[in-house]
Amino acid sequence: MRLAVNIDHIATIREARKAREPEPIAAALVAELAGAQGITVHLRGDRRHIKDRDVELLRQVIATKLNIEMAATEEMTGIAVRVRPDQVTLVPEQPHEITTQGGLDVLANRAAVTAAVARLRDAGIRVSIFIDPDEAQVTASREVGADAVEINTGGYADAPPSSRAARLDEVRRSAEAASAAGLEVLAGHGLTYFNIGPVASIRTIEELNIGHSIIARASLVGLERAVREMMELIG
């Protein structure tokens, strides 16, 4: 199973002071040196953390896989076509949310998602869609032409102990359905050093996207150690 590290929070610290440091590009390179197989950033409409210059510079320096999360808008897909990341992950976006709230409803946004997927794939960019663990969303993702889905593990991560096993099972069943449909299966959101184990044991999941927990640990023990420790748990 591969690990892609989401470095948005490095940019969040920079923007807390509108300063030059810490530099997200440096963090991406350290994460790669520690063994991460991909770097993920979310280019939000309000540019509250990652900026256009960050994705442009990351494109030039990343040696592994650059994944940009974005809304399925013309503005965002236009940037992707210009910057050419290895992968775009389409996500829903609400202006005042603290972080992404749930998966993209592909059924309800079929026209916009279909147009975004076609535009990105025509430019040679792989497209993943961040969806809730719901088999109807898996089917719709395949129908709109996605290469991959990222299953939202937030429900599992936030579940009380009494319902955690059921939420994990939803993730497992969706991952199996996506794999059977020929989609590459990724997963992420809310994963930590303490809840990663059961998700890491789902063999149909090929890649995990993890941000907050790794950067939080990095602030105390250093980024290289934080990435290595997560990779050991993923196996």
> Can you give the binding site for ligand PXP, defined by CB under 6 A?
6, 8, 42, 69, 89, 91, 99-100, 130, 150, 188-191, 209-213
Taking the CB of residue 219, how many other CB atoms lie within 10 A of it? 12
Active site residue 42: yes
Tell me whether residue 69 is one of the annotated catalytic residues: yes
Catalytic residue among 9, 49, 69, 184: 69
* Spatial distance between the Cα atoms of 14 and 100, rounded to a whole number of angstroms: 20
Closest contact distance (angstroms) between CB of 177 and ligand PXP is 19
Strand segments (E) across 7-161: 38-42, 66-70, 87-90, 126-131, 148-152
Considering 32, 150, 170, 189, which one is annotated as catalytic? 189
Residue 99 Cβ vs ligand PXP, minimum distance, rounded to whole Å: 5
Q: In terms of CB distance, is 84 or 212 closer to ligand PXP?
A: 212
Cβ closest to ligand PXP, residue 119 vs residue 211: 211
For ligand PXP, the closer of residues 132 and 150 by Cβ is: 150
Task: State yes or no: is 135 an active-site residue.
Answer: no
Long-range contact pairs involving 210-217 (C-beta distance under 8 Å, separation at least 24): 210/3, 210/4, 210/5, 210/6, 211/5, 211/6, 211/7, 211/8, 211/9, 211/40, 212/6, 212/9, 212/99, 214/5, 214/6, 215/6, 215/7, 215/9, 215/10, 216/9, 217/193
Check if the beta carbon of residue 149 is closer than 8 Å to that of residue 169. no
> Minimum distance from CB of 148 to ligand PXP (Å)?
12
Nearer to ligand PXP, 83 or 130 (CB): 130
Which of 32, 42, 49, 150 is flagged as catalytic?
A: 42
Q: Tell me the closest approach of the beta carbon of residue 6 to ligand PXP, in angstroms.
A: 5
Catalytic residues: 42, 69, 189
